[in-house]
Amino acid sequence: MLILELLKALLLGIIEGITEWLPVSSTGHLLLFNEFFPLDQDTAFTHMLVEVIQLAAILAVVVFFFNRLNPFSKKKSAEEKKNTWLLWVKILVAVIPGGVAVVAMKLLDIDLIDDPVIVAAALLVYGIAFIVIERLKKNKAPRIESADGITYKTALFIGLFQVLSLVPGTSRSGSTILGAMLLGVSRTAAAEFTFFLAIPAMCGASGLEVLSYAKDVIDGEAQMMGGEQLAILAVAMVVSFVVSLVCVKFLMGFVKRHNFEVFGWYRIALGILLLLYFLVIA
């Protein structure tokens, strides 16, 4: 049983490492994963696991862009260090709308359930949006070519687009990339800023989930993690980290030569697959 659970954790790490960064919706893929390969663990641990392995994915971004995001680097001039600090301020500005939205949802006890139909609809809508926006933007030069060129106002509006990712199936990276492109940001800068924005956003989400899980354990509503669960968590996080490194490198290279239209078609195909399965087959 442990070997089977570890294999599932490995698959979960692969799915997280790929779908967290590509604009294809991790939620849609996790729905299929849970349908065919559900972990034989209690609900509280499984829910926490899905959120916490994001930290491994985030670590991959930090490692990949370490020099880019490090304002203390000795390799940078005073001007470059200043620009790095300003970039971090813009990232924090972009996080504000999502943070406010999450707090408001907690206070109002709003929980957006991962309903398969909603997820499928979001996949389809965003898939079409990617195709339409890419064709409208074809042969049009972007106003902003680099993440450093993003203004505070643009950063705030990108953050507002990120709020849309609270709807299951939209994709956090998909929402921010689409939003940034609509605001005149180049594909490369949009993808890069999306990665940067994920660091505080996902660390906050994972941190809240850990605290929630700890509270459930203290209240007796969830079991303390044992050796098997720690092993599952470790495998999923290590795999998520490694796959994320590969995926981030791939996407940064991909957007320099191609557009996002292929991801739009993939989302449409996945959305149709989810609808067929959950409405007709399941």
How much is the pLDDT for 209? 79
Q: Is 90 exceeded by the pLDDT of residue 226? A: no
Question: Torsions phi, psi of 107, nearest 5?
Answer: -65, -35
- Where b means 16+ CB within 10 Å and e means fewer, 156-177 reads ebbbbbbbbbebbbbbbbbbbb
199-211: per-residue pLDDT in tens?
998 888 888 778 8
Q: Are 23 and 260 in contact (CB under 8 A)?
A: yes
Residue from 48, 69, 73, 11 nearest 192 by CA: 69
Residue 84 pLDDT exceeds 90: yes
Percent of the chain residues topping a pLDDT of 90: 56
Secondary-structure breakdown of the chain: helix, strand, coil percentages, each rounded to the nearest 5: 75, 0, 20
Instruction: Indicate the residue type of 273.
Output: L
Q: Give residue 188's pLDDT.
A: 92
Using 50, 70 and 90 to split pLDDT, how confident is the model at 25?
confident
The more confidently predicted of residues 26 and 189 is 189
* pLDDT on residue 232: 93
Q: How far apart are the first and last CA of the chain?
A: 26
Query: What average pLDDT does range 108-121 have in this prediction?
Result: 82
- Name the pTM for this structure: 0.89
Closest Cα to residue 121, out of 108, 112, 109? 112
Q: What is the pLDDT of residue 206?
A: 81
Q: Is the pLDDT of residue 104 over 70?
A: yes
Q: What is 183-231 written as a DSSP string? A: TTB-HHHHHHHHHHHHHHHHHHHHHHHHHHHHHHHHTTSSPPP-HHHHH
Share of the chain above pLDDT 70, in %: 100
CA distance 244 to 267: 20
> How large is the average pLDDT for residues 257-279?
92
Secondary element (H or E) of residue 44: helix 43-64
Which helix H or strand E contains 155, and what residues bound it? helix 152-163
What band does 282 get if pLDDT is binned at 50, 70 and 90? low
The pLDDT value given to residue 112: 72
Under 8 Å CB-to-CB from 39, ≥6 apart: which residues? 5, 8, 9, 12, 46, 49, 232
Distance CA 132, CA 92 (A): 30
Residue 185 β-bridge partners? 144
Q: Is the pLDDT of residue 172 over 70?
A: yes
What mean pLDDT comes out for the span 13-21?
91
Widest distance between CA atoms in the chain: 61
Strands (E), the chain: none
Residue 96 pLDDT exceeds 90: yes
Contact between 16 and 53 under an 8 Å Cβ cutoff? The reply is yes
Instruction: Tell whether the model's pLDDT for residue 231 goes beyond 90.
Output: yes
**Count of H-run helices and E-run strands, the chain:** 11, 0
